[in-house]
Amino acid sequence: MKTIRYSEINESFFEKIDFEYLNSVDEIIKKVRLDGDSALIELSQKFNDGIFNSSNDFIVSENEIELAYKKIDKELLDAMKIAIKNVEEFSIQQLNSIKEFEFKKEDSILAQKIVPLNRVLCY
């Protein structure tokens, strides 16, 4: 795995993105919004990416995590730790720039509220 530092990113980096599949991504997102976990189960079978029969199968056990740590290449793990640190630092800065607010307009109260998620499943 190659680590790409922000200072190394130039315009050609963004040209490598293949936008042809964005419609497929939109279709997947719509399907998951409509059908929830059953859509994720169906999609995982379609893409041959694990055997999931219920939403409980999405949860990674402590044992599976320990086994993965034993199998992973150290260089890859180090790169992932750097990526996690970078995402966390960015998220903190981003969250600090987004503030909750509320105001009244005529007979309405308009607001923006920050609500963290307890857990997510990313496909």
| Segments in 1-123 forming alpha helices (H) | 11-15, 22-35, 37-46, 62-71, 74-97
Q: What is the pLDDT along the chain (123 residues), one digit of tens a residue?
A: 566 676 777 766 666 555 555 568 888 888 889 999 998 888 888 777 677 888 888 888 999 999 999 999 999 999 999 999 999 999 899 888 888 899 998 999 999 888 888 877 765
Model pLDDT, residue 57: 86
**What is d(CA 101, CA 82) in angstroms, rounded to the nearest whole number?**
33
**What is d(CA 49, CA 43) in angstroms, rounded to the nearest whole number?**
8
Its pTM stands at 0.45
Amino acid identity for residue 4 in this structure: I
